Each structure stands twice: as structure tokens, then as C-alpha cells.
Amino acid sequence: MTYQDIFTTELEGTRREGARLVDVRECEEYVAGHIPGAVNLPLSELVGREGEIGPNTVLVCASGNRSSQAAAYLASQGKTGLMNLSGGTAAWMREGRDLNGGEQP
């Protein structure tokens, strides 16, 4: 494994340090509610779009499963500085944190 799991409590600090948040859920899931500031790049579209992921990127999905798959795949393609949000959007919501709805920010 060449990516790091982080927790929701670490996300704000990581983002202050310049990390980008990429939501790998499908578009309908993203539009229904996503962590503020996240951009959508569905896991189903990741192959061929790896160039859109740079270092210092946090990957997120609903629970942390798809984002860990995305992180492992991207790491296998030579990407570095990747993080997976453990617990995903569900953990974010369980902590009472807000979601944004709609399209890309």
C-alpha cells in the first residue's frame, strides 16, 4: 500500500496544507450530497483520467471502500502523496458535518 488512510478529523488540516479532495462516487451520488470543496471523478471513469490526480490528493467515497480501491490503483500507476478518507462521506455525516448538493464547485 502506497497511500495513507486519514480520518475525517484530519481532513481540514490536510486541506489547509493544500490537499485536493476528489470524490470517486458516481455522479448521482455526488450531486445528492458531497463534502464541501470535493470535485467528482467517478471510479468508473478513473482509467484514462489518471492525469487529473496529482500528489497531495485525498480520495473519498461513501464508506472508504471505493476510494481505497482508487488510491491503490493510482499508486500502482506511480502516483504519490495519495490519501484515502477512512469512513468516507458516511463518517463525515455521522459527525454532523454538512454536505453540499449539486454539481462541481
Q: Annotated catalytic residue: which of 11, 41, 58, 61?
A: 61
- Tell me the Cα Rg of the chain: 12
Category of 17 on φ-ψ map: left (φ > 0), alpha (ψ -120 to 50) or beta: alpha
**Is 27 labeled as catalytic in the residue annotation?**
no
Q: Which residues are catalytic?
A: 61
